[in-house]
Structure 1
Amino acid sequence: MISLLLAGFIGMFNETALNVALSDLIDLFHISASTAQWLTTGYLLALGILVPISGLLLQWFSTRQLFIASLIFSILGTLVAALAPGFEILMIARVIQAAGVALMLPLMFNTVLVIIPAEKRGGAYGLIGLVLVVAPAVGPTITGLLIEKLSWNWIFWLSLPILVISFLFGMRFMQNISTITKPKIDIFSLIFSTLGFGGIVFAFSSAGEGEGGWGTTKVVFSMVVGVLGLMIFIIRQLKMKQPMMELRAFRHPMFTIGTLMIFFTLILMLSAMLVLPIYLIRGLGLSAFTTGLVLLPGGILNAIMLPIMGRVFDKFGLKWVVPSGYVIITVTLWFLSGITIATPLALIIVLHSCLMIGISMVWMPSQANGLNQLPPELYPHGSAIMNTLQQLAGAIGTAVAVSIMTGGMNSFMKDVADKAAPGNGPLAWIAGIQDAFIFAIVVAIVGLFFAFFIKRVHVGKQQ
Structure 2
Amino acid sequence: MNTNTKKISAKVIAAIVATGLMSFCGVIVETSMNVTFSILMREFSITTNQVQWMTSIYLLLVAIIVPLSAILKSSYRTKTLFTVASLFFIGGIIIDALAPSFWLLLVGRAIQGIGTGIALPLMFNIIMEQVPTGKIGFMMGIGNLITGVAPAIGPTFGGIIASKLNWRWVFYLLIPLLIISFLLGEWGITQKSPIEKQQIDIFSMLMIVFMFCGFVTGFSNLGSQPFMTFSVGGALLIGILGMGLFAWRSLILEEPILQLRLFRNKNFSGHVLGFFLTQLISLGFAFLLPNYIQLVNGNSAMIAGLIVLPAGFAGAIFAPLGGRILDKFGARKPILIGTSLCLIALIAFTIYGQHLTSTFIALVYILYMGGMGMCMGCVMTSALTVIGKEKQSQGNAILNTLQQFAGAIGTSLVAMIVAANQSHLNVVRRVSTAIGTQEAFGMLTVFCIIIWISYYRSVKK
TM-score (norm 2): 0.89
Instruction: Tell me by how many angstroms 1:324 deviates.
Output: 3.5
How far is the alpha carbon of 1:93 from its aligned partner?
A: 2.4
Deviations 1:132-168 (A, max 9, x none): 3222122222222222322322222221221122113
The reply to whether residue 259 of structure 1 matches residue 272 of structure 2 is yes
Q: Which moved more, 1:171-180 or 1:117-126?
A: 171-180
- Identify the match of residue 117 of structure 2 among 102, 115, 140: 102
| Alpha-carbon distance, 1:30 to partner | 5.5
How many angstroms apart in 2 are the aligned matches of 1:142 and 1:149? 11
Which one-letter code corresponds to 2:155 in the other structure? Answer: P
Q: Identity of counterpart residues, as a percentage?
A: 34
Contact map agreement 1:125 1:368 (CA 8 A) in 2: yes
1:428 deviates by 4.6
Per the TM alignment, residue 177 of structure 1 is displaced from its structure 2 partner at its CA by: 3.0
Q: Is the 8 A contact 2:31 2:154 kept in 1?
A: yes
Distance in structure 2 (CA, Å) of the matches to 1:33 and 1:291: 20
Residue 24 of structure 1, CA deviation: 4.5
1:310 maps onto 2:323 in alignment: yes
1:349-387 Cα offsets, whole Å, 9 max, x none, are: 112111101212331111111111233331221111110
Asked if 2 retains the 8 angstrom alpha-carbon contact of 1:19 and 1:273, the reply is no
Counterpart for residue 297 of structure 1: 310
Alignment of 1:176-187 (within 5 A): 176-187=191-202
1:220 aligns with 2:224: no
Q: Runs of 5+ in structure 2 lacking a partner?
A: 1-14
Moved more, 72-81 or 434-443: 434-443
Work out whether residues 147 and 289 of structure 1, in 8 Å CA contact, stay in contact via their aligned partners in 2: no
Q: Secondary structure at the match of 2:219?
A: helix
Bigger Cα displacement from structure 2, 197-206 vs 104-113: 197-206
* Structure-2 separation of matches of 1:438 and 1:81: 39
Q: Answer 1 or 2: higher relative contact order, Cα 8 Å, separation at least 6.
A: 1
Higher mean displacement: 131-140 or 259-268: 131-140
Equivalent in 189, 211, 216 of residue 201 of structure 1? 216
Equivalent position SS for 1:52:
helix
**1:8 aligned to 23, 33, 43, which one?**
23
Label 1:148 to 1:23 Cα distance change in 2 as closer, same or farther (>3 A).
same
In the alignment, what sits opposite 1:276?
289
Q: Quick one: distance in 2 between partners of 1:350 and 1:29?
A: 38
- Aligned-residue Cα RMSD (Å) equals 2.4
Structure 1 position 444 matched with structure 2 position 448: yes
Distance 1:85-1:42 versus aligned 2 partners, 3 A rule: same
C-alpha displacement of 1:27: 5.4
Give the counterpart letter for 1:436 in structure 2: A
Q: 2:400 aligns with which of 381, 384, 387?
A: 387
Aligned-pair CA distance for 1:86: 5.1
**Unmatched runs of 5 consecutive residues or more in structure 1:** 417-423, 458-463
Q: For residues 177-217 of structure 1, what are the alpha-carbon distances to aligned partners after superposition, in whole Å with 9 as ceiling and x for unaligned?
A: 3421112221111111222233233322221223x1x3323
| 1:138 partnered with 2:153 | yes
Shift of 1:34: 5.1
Aligned length: 446
Contact 1:192 1:230 in 2 (8 A): yes
Cα distance change of structure 1 residues 99 and 289 upon mapping to structure 2, 3 Å threshold: same
1:55-110 Cα shifts (integer Å, max 9, x gaps): 21112211111101111111122222223445433333222211111011111111
Q: What is the TM-score when the length of structure 1 is the normalising length?
A: 0.89
Deviation at 1:117, TM superposition (A): 2.9
Counterpart residue type for residue 98 of structure 2: L
Instruction: Give 1:446 deviation, angstroms.
Output: 2.2
Which deviations, in whole Å up to 9, do the C-alpha atoms of 1:231-277 show, x marking residues without a partner?
22112112212222222222333322222221111101112112322
